[in-house]
Amino acid sequence: MNILLTGGSGYIGSHTVALLAGAGNHVVLYDNLCNSHADVVTRLNRIVGRSLVLVQGDVRDADLLERTLQEQRIEAVVHFAGLKAVGESVADPLAYYDNNVTGTLCLLWAMQRCGVRTLVFSSSATVYGDPQYLPVDEMHPTSAVNPYGRSKLHVEEMLSDLAASDGDWRIACMRYFNPVGAHESGLIGEDPSGVPNNLMPYIAQVAAGHRDRLSVYGGDYDTPDGTGVRDFVHVADLADGHLAALNYLGSSEGAGWHAFNLGTGQGYSVLQVVREFERASGREVPYEIVARRPGDVASSYASPDKARLILGWQARRGLDEMCASAWRWQRYGERL
């Protein structure tokens, strides 16, 4: 299949490119490189053993998108491109609505004009707001507690309206829980610029000695050890989930709008992750328990049953593999 991956040189996009290209698809990366490097494509070329196409462009550039869809004879789009930092979205909401909502709107117009009507969208567990029950299934009410979350929710609603208006659309919204880990080759991984917001890259930098200690945000939650609990899911499992979604959308049942949780169904606490990372790296991870981070919830984990039953997808990699691959990437990634 000919597949366009917007945001294809980013963290989750690059792992999905590696999988889809490795499975023999013609993949085209479309990325403005605002949060990734062209060097990722050189690394992907090494992984897949051939030269991949990167179109350097913005999803808000409808002309370039249309040209790319036509010239590359694209049949399906996986839409990763977007901004993702919650705090930044509170400080600069217009940038988030512009990139995430207007960007998706431009993409949809271009797809409609070119007759491409199969789309897999990167959504997030953030669309569930504060969990009202656990595990969170796809029937859980949606809400948003910050502009980033609202941008994802707006797009999901837009996609649902579109699918309802025209039965030719085949759309899957993939609601990721906490993506972590890196490719088994050690060649690609998460590459946050500046101080990492997320737990796993922060721990990796502490283990490597680049930062003194981890601040654990809150030790008094109603969880087994008092620290936050999340559903960490290996990025390679997420990539498998996108392949499964594309296969499903292409099947006789794929028409319409669908939402799927991508998580393991198992919650781990911040301190469990610290301990597992110490085991995987053989390094100490000093930490200090500090005040709760505003906006955080005690626990969030998925019911992945729908993805298992309908897509035949299940996360296969455990926390040990998540930590080991994140450490390999932290330690050797840049030098490979």
Which residues form the interface with ligand UFG (CB under 6 A)?
A: 84, 86, 124-126, 178, 197-199, 202, 214-217, 228, 230, 270, 293, 296
Q: How many CB atoms lie within 10 A of CB 313?
A: 24
Given ligand NAD, ligand UFG, none, residue 293, with its beta carbon under 5 to 8 Å by kind, binds ligand UFG
Given ligand NAD, ligand UFG, none, residue 144, with its beta carbon under 5 to 8 Å by kind, binds none
Smallest distance, Å, CB 7 to ligand NAD? 3
- Which DSSP letter does residue 79 get? E
Residues 100 and 155 sit within 8 Å (Cβ to Cβ): yes
The smaller minimum CB distance to ligand UFG, of residues 147 and 186, is found at 147
Q: How many CB atoms lie within 10 A of CB 37?
A: 12
Ramachandran region, residue 25 (left: φ > 0; alpha: ψ -120 to 50; beta: rest): beta
Smallest distance, Å, CB 125 to ligand UFG? 4
The smaller minimum CB distance to ligand UFG, of residues 16 and 126, is found at 126
The DSSP-derived string for 284-304 is ---EEEEPPPTT--SEE-B--
Q: How many CA atoms lie within 13 A of 165 on its CB side?
A: 8
Ramachandran region, residue 186 (left: φ > 0; alpha: ψ -120 to 50; beta: rest): left
The tokens for 83 are 């901004």
Q: Is 218 in the site for ligand NAD (CB under 6 A)?
A: no
Q: Which stretch binds ligand NAD (CB under 6 A): 10-18, 19-27, 63-71, 131-139?
A: 10-18
Given ligand UFG, ligand NAD, none, residue 202, with its beta carbon under 5 to 8 Å by kind, binds ligand UFG
Ramachandran region, residue 312 (left: φ > 0; alpha: ψ -120 to 50; beta: rest): left
Smallest distance, Å, CB 98 to ligand UFG? 18
Given ligand UFG, ligand NAD, none, residue 296, with its beta carbon under 5 to 8 Å by kind, binds ligand UFG
Q: Is 304 in the site for ligand NAD (CB under 6 A)?
A: no
CA distances from 36 to 7, 116, 226, 289, 319 (A): 9, 26, 35, 32, 26
In this chain, which residue has its C-beta nearest to ligand UFG? 228
* Alpha-helical regions (H) of the chain: 11-22, 39-48, 62-71, 86-91, 93-96, 103-114, 147-165, 199-207, 235-249, 270-281, 305-306, 319-332
Given ligand NAD, ligand UFG, none, residue 31, with its beta carbon under 5 to 8 Å by kind, binds ligand NAD
Q: Could you give the residue numbers annotated as active site? A: 148
Smallest distance, Å, CB 68 to ligand NAD? 11
The smaller minimum CB distance to ligand NAD, of residues 197 and 226, is found at 197
The smaller minimum CB distance to ligand NAD, of residues 13 and 181, is found at 13
Which positions touch ligand NAD (CB under 6 A)? 6-7, 9-13, 31-36, 58-60, 80-82, 84, 99, 103, 122, 124, 176, 179
